[in-house]
């Protein structure tokens, strides 16, 4: 039996900024160091359902009235979201730089930091394809029996739909506290 020579040159690290995701980053860094791979960091901002969803619930006229009443609020929030995106990207950049400085024995390169909007699982898989990644690393929030059955819906969807390998990391019990 001949084994395939595995080459990992680009890792997509998907983060929801949770403690579990931070723990998963150590795996991404370790693998990047071992294979000489670059890491692309991705955070997905969940998107509110589009107008199609809203128009299934209320009439077009009612929706138009609501939009007109809240136009300036919505504009301010959109501007705020843009600022939030920029700040979030800076936070992730600083996080990457701090980890790189603290891990003297493991070096890695952050290729890119992406902040995208949409359905997290779908955006993760699509971004991995777009970026030609060889591996996706992400955390999951499974805690206890019920969570084992419902193991992170985002992680489960990514595992099922991704054409490339996915490494899903759980937070060790020692770090996650009492169950």
Domain that holds residue 44: 10-144+155-170
Q: How many domains does the chain have?
A: 1
- Domain-embedded: residue 2: no
- Domain-embedded: residue 150: no
- Domain-embedded: residue 42: yes
CATH number at residue 102: 3.40.50.620
- Domain-embedded: residue 164: yes
Q: Measure CA 154 to chain center.
A: 9
- Domain-embedded: residue 99: yes
pTM over 0.75: no
85-126 per-position pLDDT tens digit: 677 778 788 877 787 777 667 777 888 999 998 889 999 999
24-73 per-position pLDDT tens digit: 999 999 999 999 999 999 999 876 555 555 656 666 777 677 767 666 56
Q: Measure CA 8 to chain center.
A: 19
């Amino acid at each position: 039996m001949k084994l395939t020579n595995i080459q990992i040159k680009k890792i997509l690290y998907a983060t929801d900024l949770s403690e579990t995701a931070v723990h998963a980053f150590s795996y991404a860094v370790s693998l990047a160091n071992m294979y000489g791979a670059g890491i692309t960091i991705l955070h997905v901002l969940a998107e509110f359902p589009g107008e199609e969803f809203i128009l299934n619930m209320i009439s077009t006229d009612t929706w138009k009235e609501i939009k007109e009443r809240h136009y300036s609020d919505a504009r301010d929030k959109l501007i705020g979201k843009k600022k939030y995106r920029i700040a979030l990207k800076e936070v992730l950049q600083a996080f990457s730089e701090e980890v790189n400085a603290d891990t003297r024995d493991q070096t890695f390169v952050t290729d890119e930091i992406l902040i995208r909007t949409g359905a997290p699982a779908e955006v993760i898989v699509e971004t991995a394809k777009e970026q030609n990644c060889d591996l996706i690393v992400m955390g999951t929030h499974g805690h206890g029996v019920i969570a084992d059955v419902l193991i992170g819906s985002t992680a489960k969807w990514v595992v099922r739909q991704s054409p490339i390998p996915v490494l899903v990391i759980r937070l060790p019990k020692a770090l996650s506290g009492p169950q």
